[in-house]
Amino acid sequence: MITTFLFKADQVSKGGKELISAWSDDPQATIWVDLTDASEFDDPVLQKNNLGLHPMAVQDARRDRHPAKIEAFDDFTFLLLKGLSSDSFNIDFKTIQLSLFVGKRFLLTFHSSESISIERLKTLLMEEPVSSLASGSKLAMRLCRLMSMRYINILLELEPRLEELEALMLDDDANDTVLSELIRYKSDLKRLHRYADYHEQMFQQMKDKNFPGLDQDKGKHEIIDVWEKLERTKSLSRLFYETATDLIEGYISVASHRLNQIMKVLTVVMAIFVPLSFLAGIYGMNFENIPELHHPSGYFILLTVMGSMVGFLLMLFRKKKWL
């Protein structure tokens, strides 16, 4: 469905594709056209009121998967972003393709799946003064800001969970589910860092160079604001990735330490019972000429010797702090 917002004379009107003709007739008006189906690029109204969209940019927008990119054309700039899907609120996120065609007097967006950032921007149009969003560049930067904030919110939600896992892995009841969860976080954080890096590089270019349709003078601070949020997303994802790595290594170290403690106890038990087994083996042999077998107190003497050996070994191990 084609949704349009027409900015004209400090007023904004919401409608369908009928507003595109009104925008085309007024050189002072600005329009935002939101598409949710790839076939809508071929709509006769869009073709008649030509926005000057390059066929190669439209082809990239229609692809199911494509890396984030920025490309300048004669009268507009094409931005291809990786937005978060509508059901992504934690680190186990999914992405959608979000295409922006930014001109001086227009913004055209395309997304084949629901976008919370798009819906939030539509709500803001009815809440904020029209002048704050009445240009293609301002609309695009506000949308990018909303998208980047969703990434930051995901990371901020993850931080307390990492702190919980750090405390949990020192608990005696900790199991391998902690390790599995941390490994999943590492994978998701690496993916998030990659997307943040793509976007941060895009907006670094926008800071340093002029692009058609983007107001580099009046909108410079808005571009910088989005870049700062993307840079923060990139740094936080790297920080949490390193934190998850440290926690995994710490968990493995703790597990190894616990295993070593168990092996130490087993070794001490074995060290105590080896000499006892040796004595029991000697006096368990069936030879007639073992003098001690005929001694009246032989049994009690052997038990005393064995008990003394156990006591001596226990004292020795405790002195060496093996127990």
69 and 123 co-located in one domain? yes
Final residue before a domain boundary, out of 254, 283, 306: 254
Helix 220-282 and helix 176-208, axial crossing angle in degrees, nearest 10? 160
Sheet containing 3-8: which strands, arranged edge to edge?
11-15, 3-8, 30-35, 106-110, 95-103, 76-84, 69-72
pLDDT digits (tens, 9 = 90+) for 49-95: 667 788 888 888 888 888 889 999 988 999 999 999 999 999 999 99
Half-sphere exposure of 53 (CA within 13 A, CB side): 28
How many domains is the chain partitioned into structurally? 2
46 and 190 co-located in one domain? yes
DSSP state letters, 160-226: HHHHHHHHHTTSTT--HHHHHHHHHHHHHHHHHHHHHHHHHHHHHHHHHS--TTS-TTTTHHHHHHH
Domain that residue 236 falls in? 3-254
pLDDT digits (tens, 9 = 90+) for 14-41: 888 888 888 888 888 899 999 998 888 8
228 and 308 co-located in one domain? no
Q: Is 196 exposed, middle or buried (0-12, 13-18, 19+ CB in 10 A)?
A: buried
pLDDT at 132 over 70: no
163 and 308 co-located in one domain? no
CA–CA distance, 278 with 97 (Å, rounded to integer): 75
pLDDT digits (tens, 9 = 90+) for 164-188: 988 888 776 667 888 899 999 999 9
198 and 277 co-located in one domain? no
148 and 239 co-located in one domain? yes
33 and 138 co-located in one domain? yes
159 and 296 co-located in one domain? no
Beta bridge partners of 15: 4
- Check which CATH number belongs to the domain holding 122 and give it: 3.30.460.20
Confidence (pLDDT) at 280: 85
| 272 or 149, greater pLDDT | 149
Final residue before a domain boundary, out of 235, 254, 273: 254
Final residue before a domain boundary, out of 236, 254, 272: 254
- Check which CATH number belongs to the domain holding 296 and give it: 1.20.58.340
Confidence (pLDDT) at 50: 63
142 and 286 co-located in one domain? no
| DSSP-derived 3-state class of residue 79 | strand
